[in-house]
């Protein structure tokens, strides 16, 4: 008995069933109508062949370029693979890179992942000297096209069978977002939930962190970071901890003078950073940023653009004080509730003193105790910070900075204060609150070590070295 051979995308298989893939036994040349066998099981007679079925076309259809659109979009960048058979039955595979460029044999093209539209041209740039006279007589050959794209070469099409075209792609599908879970109305969000982090008119910080490889240093040595005008420098010991002393920095020159290595865990790695801030004048959808100034450093590959939150000019201040005859201990307001106290603090002559280091944005209550002299100081958020005498200046300490929350002069109290009377002192600090939110999508973990850095930048007034008098 003989075998049955079945064509599947240009490959002839024998023994192919619904459960078995079969054995590849040859290839079909669609252009010339030939079957080239590589595994031919001889039956009673090698010349005895029965053609059981055959599809033919009145006119062979081939093309050297295809335009297509996937069934769904947007697509995952790099998630498109296309296959097609040429007229010799050879499979050609095109793979789209993350930049949208197709790579493969006998082809060139691009893919728009956002819309799902792609273009492929099949062929090669060849040297005209390698072409025959009959090829030069083809429609695609023109001496005027020589070197139009690649120097000294011309594009020669490589026809394919478009009926064998197969496209595999990975597309995104976005699920509706619950406004209660998200905490905001998602109607104004784009379909993919992503919003730009850079906007026209805002500031960005361009920076790069370089490193000097681990080395062992001694006092008197100078470390040259290889670039000038550094923004900051870190020395990291072999134990992974920062080296905080024993050296002097010259950020303008980009050098570090080692003065004392006592306590250093060597070898030490030096990390040095350059950065500058600029305003965005334009933001393109492809991620291109136009800045208001020329960058003053030569930034290598790996430089990072960070968005900058502008806090403006910050300074601590105390708001006007007010008093109440009594206070329940938990109701906070910005003006007197009920009757005022019989006495009043003279904040005109003795204003509260606050500093940037110690002040918080807080409402303080100073409630007179039963002895009529002492007061308990209670913050709306920090709670009870202590009991103090009105006969001395009151300066409760901020435990974070070590500086007073405020300083209230004893001379401003005067007389007439009774137990339960309460003085309210609202203050405004220089803290600039913001939220750092990390979004985690449901999926398998791809890493365990993540980090980010928040850096405070500020402008300072520097006295001129040669002042003009």
Calpha distance 384→382 (Å, rounded)? 7
Is residue 242 in some structural domain?
yes
Is residue 439 in some structural domain?
no
**DSSP label at residue 39:** S
pLDDT of residue 248: 96
323 and 427 in a single domain? The answer is yes
Show the 3-state SS of 95-163: EECCCCEEECCCEEEEEECCCCEEEEEEEEEECHHHCCHHHHCCCCCCHHHCCCCCCCCEEEECCEEEE
CB 202 within 8 A of CB 279: yes
pLDDT of residue 423: 97
Calpha distance 123→108 (Å, rounded)? 8
Domain final residue pick, 56, 84, 103: 56
162 and 76 in a single domain? The answer is yes
Domain final residue pick, 273, 307, 341: 307
41 and 73 in a single domain? The answer is no
16 and 88 in a single domain? The answer is no
275 and 303 in a single domain? The answer is yes
Calpha distance 343→340 (Å, rounded)? 8
Assign 3-state DSSP to the chain and report helix, strand, coil percentages, each to 5.
5, 35, 60
321 and 349 in a single domain? The answer is yes
Instruction: Report the chain (469 residues): mean pLDDT per 10 consecutive residues.
Output: 81 87 87 83 72 73 91 90 91 93 94 93 93 89 87 92 92 77 72 76 94 95 95 94 95 96 96 95 86 94 91 91 94 95 95 95 96 95 96 96 96 94 96 81 78 80 64
- DSSP assignment of 376-416 equals EEEETTTEEEEEEETTS-B--B-TTTSSBS-BB-GGG--S-
Is residue 128 in some structural domain?
yes
289 and 342 in a single domain? The answer is no
Is residue 447 in some structural domain?
no
Domain final residue pick, 272, 307, 342: 307
Q: Identify the domain containing residue 104 by its residue range.
A: 65-171
106 and 73 in a single domain? The answer is yes
Is residue 445 in some structural domain?
no
Is residue 448 in some structural domain?
no
Calpha distance 193→73 (Å, rounded)? 15
143 and 211 in a single domain? The answer is no
245 and 268 in a single domain? The answer is yes
CB 284 within 8 A of CB 261: no
Is residue 461 in some structural domain?
no
Q: What number of other Cβ atoms are within 10 A of residue 197's Cβ?
A: 11
Give the count of domains, the chain. 4
pLDDT of residue 460: 67
Is residue 192 in some structural domain?
no
CB 430 within 8 A of CB 439: no
Write the CB contacts of 260 (distance below 8 Å, at least 6 apart in sequence): 219, 245, 246
Which helix (H) or strand (E) segment holds residue 82: the answer is strand 75-86
47 and 117 in a single domain? The answer is no
pLDDT of residue 412: 96
């Amino acid at each position: 008995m003989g075998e049955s051979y079945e064509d599947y995308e240009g490959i002839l298989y024998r023994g192919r069933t619904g459960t078995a893939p079969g054995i590849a036994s040859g290839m079909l040349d669609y252009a010339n109508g030939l079957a080239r066998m590589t595994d031919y099981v001889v039956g009673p007679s090698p010349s005895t062949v029965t053609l059981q079925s055959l599809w033919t076309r009145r006119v062979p259809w081939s093309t050297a370029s295809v335009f297509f659109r996937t069934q769904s979009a947007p697509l995952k960048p790099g998630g498109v693979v296309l296959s097609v058979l040429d007229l010799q039955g050879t499979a050609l595979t095109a793979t789209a890179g993350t930049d949208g460029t197709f790579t493969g044999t006998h082809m060139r093209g691009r893919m728009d992942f956002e819309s799902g539209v792609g273009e492929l041209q099949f062929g090669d740039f060849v040297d005209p000297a390698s072409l025959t006279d009959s090829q030069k007589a083809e429609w695609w050959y023109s001496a005027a096209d020589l070197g139009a794209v690649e120097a000294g070469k011309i594009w020669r099409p490589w026809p394919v069978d478009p009926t064998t075209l197969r496209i595999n792609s990975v597309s995104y599908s976005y699920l509706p977002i619950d406004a209660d879970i998200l905490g905001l109305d998602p109607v104004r969000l784009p379909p993919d939930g992503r919003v730009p982090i850079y906007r026209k008119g805002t500031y960005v910080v361009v920076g790069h962190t370089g490193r000097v490889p681990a080395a062992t240093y001694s006092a008197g040595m100078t470390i040259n970071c290889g670039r000038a005008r550094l923004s900051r420098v870190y020395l990291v010991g072999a134990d992974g901890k920062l080296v905080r002393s024993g050296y002097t920095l010259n950020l303008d020159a980009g050098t570090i003078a080692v003065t004392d290595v006592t306590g250093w865990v060597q070898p030490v790695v030096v990390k040095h950073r350059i950065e500058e801030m600029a305003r965005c004048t334009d933001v393109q959808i492809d991620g291109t940023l136009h800045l208001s100034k020329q960058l003053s450093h030569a930034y290598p590959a790996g430089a990072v653009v960070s968005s900058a939150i502008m806090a403006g000019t910050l300074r601590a201040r105390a708001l006007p004080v007010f008093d109440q005859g009594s206070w329940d201990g938990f109701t906070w307001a910005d003006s007197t509730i009920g009757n005022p106290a019989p006495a009043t603090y003279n904040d005109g002559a003795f204003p509260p003193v606050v500093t940037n280091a110690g002040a918080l944005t807080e409402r303080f209550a100073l409630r007179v105790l039963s002895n009529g002299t002492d007061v308990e100081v209670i913050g709306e958020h920090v709670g009870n910070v202590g009991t103090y005498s009105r006969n001395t200046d009151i300066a409760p300490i901020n435990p974070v900075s070590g500086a007073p929350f405020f300083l209230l002069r004893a001379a401003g109290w005067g007389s007439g204060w009774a137990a339960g009377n309460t003085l309210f002192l609202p203050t405004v600090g220089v803290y600039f609150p913001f939220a750092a939110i990390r979004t985690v999508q449901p999926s398998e973990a791809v890493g365990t070590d993540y980090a980010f850095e928040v850096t405070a930048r500020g402008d300072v007034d520097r006295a001129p070295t040669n002042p003009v008098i």
